[in-house]
Homo-oligomer: A and B are copies of this chain.
Amino acid sequence: MSGNHFAAWMESVQHRTETALGTILPDAAIAPQRLHEAMRYAALGGGKRVRPLLVHAAGEIAGADPERLDRVACAVELIHAYSLVHDDLPCMDDDVLRRGKPTVHVEYDEATALLVGDALQALAFQTIAEGRGNDDPAVQLEMVTLLGRASGSRGMAGGQAIDLGAVGKQLTREELEFMHIHKTGALIRAAVLLGAQCGAPLAPDALARLDRYGKLVGLLFQVVDDILDAQADTATLGKTAGKDADQNKPTYVTLLGLSEARTLADVLLADARDAIAPFGAAAARLDELANFIVHRRF
């Protein structure tokens, strides 16, 4: 695998994630059909699959079997997919476009979108519990716990709540960082650790380095998101551009300005690469991924 070009590796992980998700999601012919169809609409056929890529890249460090990684990657991606569906609802960001398609509540209706998110979350936990991510059921239980923490009130959902409370407010850089460490960071960080847990046990300092990488990449992802949102147009982004500024939401760009936000991204990238440098060649994919996250155009 290590000889492959990064773009080919990325495409292969995206492809196998799509296939695995297609199997895990109930068929649209199974009752309740409309719900299952909408769940598939929400979770399939789009997205960069950044979290599955991180699961697989971190799994390489621990020598994890790719098929184990698929199930865990899907569990994380199902959490991400549910959060997008709920985040797009009228009572939240009220967005009509996602990955270039109408959002779930636009394509279906609000009640269905609510249930789609709820059911995707349940499926995520079912998937990680059934997934044989690790032969040791005690480790697998730890993985369920980790995903629960990363998704809940002290992780992703908590970050959304902080975000809600921040609209129209002037945040300090520390407050903005606190929000993003929860909102985007927690699940990205969990993706890295969960990938590593699918393989041979790592020494505590190796895990700590991976965790540091995950934390930095989570922030990096958000800084770049803010830069792209401030610059791009809707067609390139596949979702409504410039929304954060319109909604008077604090971003790294509104706080620091575009130039300093770019500098911050460079610093975070360098730090993330430093954190995993001791792994050597085994961390090549993680290194390339961090780089990809900075230089992506959508």
Contact = CB atoms under 8 A, between A and B. Distances in A.
Interface of A: 26, 30-32, 34-36, 39, 82-83, 86, 89, 91-92, 109-112, 114-115, 117-119, 121-123, 125-127, 129-130, 136-138, 140-141, 144-145, 147-149, 151-155, 157-158, 160-162, 164-165, 178
A132 to B, nearest CB: 10
B35 A161 contact: yes
A263 to B, nearest CB: 28
Contacts of A154: 26, 30
Given A118-B86, A160-B115, A126 B145 contact: yes
Given A114-B86, A114-B89, A122 B161 contact: no
Nearest to A162: B32
A35 B158 contact: yes
Given A112-B164, A114-B89, A137-B140, A157 B125 contact: no
A54 to B, nearest CB: 20
A111 B92 contact: yes
A144 B122 contact: no
Nearest to A109: B91
Given A39-B153, A137-B141, A165 B34 contact: yes
A159 to B, nearest CB: 8
Contacts of A137: 136-138, 140-141
A282 B202 CA distance: 47
B91 A110 contact: yes
A119 B154 CA distance: 9
Nearest to A160: B115
A178 B31 CA distance: 10
A129 B148 CA distance: 9
A86 B92 CA distance: 14
Contacts of A127: 148
Given A91-B109, A125-B125, A137-B138, 11 more contacts: A31-B162, A32-B161, A35-B157, A35-B161, A82-B118, A118-B121, A119-B153, A121-B122, A123-B152, A126-B144, A137-B141
A113 B114 CA distance: 12
Greatest chain B CB density within 10 A among A149, A154, A162 is at: A154
Between A26, A144, A149, the greatest number of chain B beta carbons within 10 A of the residue's beta carbon is seen for: A144
A96 to B, nearest CB: 16
Nearest to A110: B91
